Amino acid sequence: MLKVTLHDGSTVEAEVHGEGPTLLLPVNPRPSEGPQADEIRKLGADPALGRSLIEGLQDAFRVVAFDYEGHVLAFPKPDTLTPANITADLLAVADAAGADRFAYYGYSWLALSGLQLAIRTDRLSALVMGGFPPLGGPYEEMLRVTMATYEMSVSPQAAETSWTSTGSSWTSAESSETSEEIDWSTVEMTLTEPQTRQFVTLYEALQGFDDRAAQARVGCPRLCFVGSADEIEYGERWGDVHVSIAGPVVSRRAELEAFGWDVKVMDGLDHMWAMQAANVLPTLRPWLAAKLEARLPG
């Protein structure tokens, strides 16, 4: 177990599993338990998602797993969760793991964090972005969503506010429907003002970010994947914002490939289903193995 000091002086634990090329994996290595696990299962998801990814990769890669999302929720960074500081945190994890070169896989906002990492360091051996488009990203829309979430968190009438980070985080849901029927605007999480403000800080810092111009600064092999049904509709409380994750990838696939991206569109999958290990690993494992010259068992 590694203890990594981050930009604000707080620490996050990282676990190292397996041998081979190093892969930074910002996931919770510990399965959720109790009521939280029950609610995740109601959404049709895996309460051991991080563990499932680790187990699916550790036979060919040196996996450095750390729950960065859980950390920022437990130790909010309302004024400092910026792209530059997130990059510093990810590099601190790599340093603690003794990895001069490393690959990175992130999903949703942790995917966009990977793009920010890639344009700020030459240490990446490969970049994988899941559930967020490398080109035409919905930065303006996500600022509107996070601003609305922040405003609800400071409202005395709002005992609970919703944060899905475009679907990657939850603790409980109002509905016990299957995942195909879920309205993401009903996914609820009790959040404090510092927790919500840190994501406002992040998306404010990304306003004006030119992800097309940034492509020339990504020097490593790169893969992006999305579910073809990854279109998130936020309700009236969020200003009826539509966050399109699949749209930019599908419509700009040729342009992405011209910039050097390998592109995978997972037919029929929404934001939550496209992050599940059973759907991620068949794409992630062979791609990483090919790019990092790792040998897959069997």
Which of 73-87, 140-154, 189-203 shows the highest mean pLDDT? 73-87
- Measured over the CA atoms of residue 155, residue 7, residue 83 and residue 91, the dihedral's sign is negative
In the prediction, which pLDDT does 177 show? 34
Model confidence band, residue 148 (pLDDT cutoffs 50, 70, 90):
very high
pLDDT tens by residue, 234-274: 988 888 999 999 999 999 999 999 999 999 999 999 999 99
Enumerate the β-bridge partners of residue 233.
242
**C-alpha 288 chain-centroid distance:** 18
- Is the per-residue pLDDT at 121 higher than 60? yes
Q: How confident is the model at residue 189 (pLDDT cuts 50, 70, 90)?
A: very low
pLDDT-derived band at 157 (thresholds 50, 70, 90) equals low
State the pLDDT confidence band at 164, using cuts at 50, 70 and 90. very low
pLDDT in tens, 7-52: 999 999 999 999 999 999 999 999 877 877 777 777 767 889 999 9
The region that residue 297 occupies, defined by phi over 0 for left and psi between -120 and 50 for alpha, beta otherwise, is beta
Q: State the pLDDT confidence band at 135, using cuts at 50, 70 and 90.
A: very high
For residue 159, name the pLDDT band (cuts at 50, 70, 90): very low
CATH topology of domain 2-136+210-229+246-292: Rossmann fold (3.40.50)
Q: Counting Cβ atoms within 10 Å, is residue 32 exposed (0-12), middle (13-18) or buried (19+)?
A: buried
Helix axes 83-96, 109-118, angle to 10 degrees: 80
* Locus of tokens 């604000």: 8
Interval 170-182: pLDDT, tens = 332 232 233 444 4
- State mean pLDDT over 49-65: 97
The rounded percent of the chain whose pLDDT value lies above 70 is 88
Nearest residue to 24 via CA among 107, 119, 147: 107
pLDDT beyond 50 at 184:
no
Task: Tell whether the model's pLDDT for residue 140 goes beyond 50.
Answer: yes
- Per-residue burial over 202-234, b if 16 or more Cβ lie within 10 Å, else e, is bbebbeebebeebbeebebbbbbbbbbbbebeb
Please report the pLDDT score of residue 246 as a whole number.
98
Instruction: Give the model confidence (pLDDT) of 90-115 as tens digits.
Output: 999 999 999 999 999 999 999 999 99
pTM of the entire predicted model: 0.91
- Residue 189, SS3 per DSSP: strand
Position 20: which residue type?
G
Cα–Cα distance between 195 and 192 in angstroms, integer? 5
Give me the phi and psi of 226, to 5 degrees please. -145, 160
Strand partners, 121: none
Please give the pLDDT value at position 52: 96
Rounded Cα–Cα distance for residues 82 and 101 (Å):
23
Q: DSSP letter at 186?
A: G
pLDDT-derived band at 83 (thresholds 50, 70, 90) equals very high
CA angle 247, 249, 255 (to 5 degrees): 125
pLDDT at 295: 85
Mean pLDDT, all residues of the chain: 89
* Dist CA 69 CA 189 (whole Å): 14
- What local confidence, expressed as pLDDT, does residue 181 receive? 43
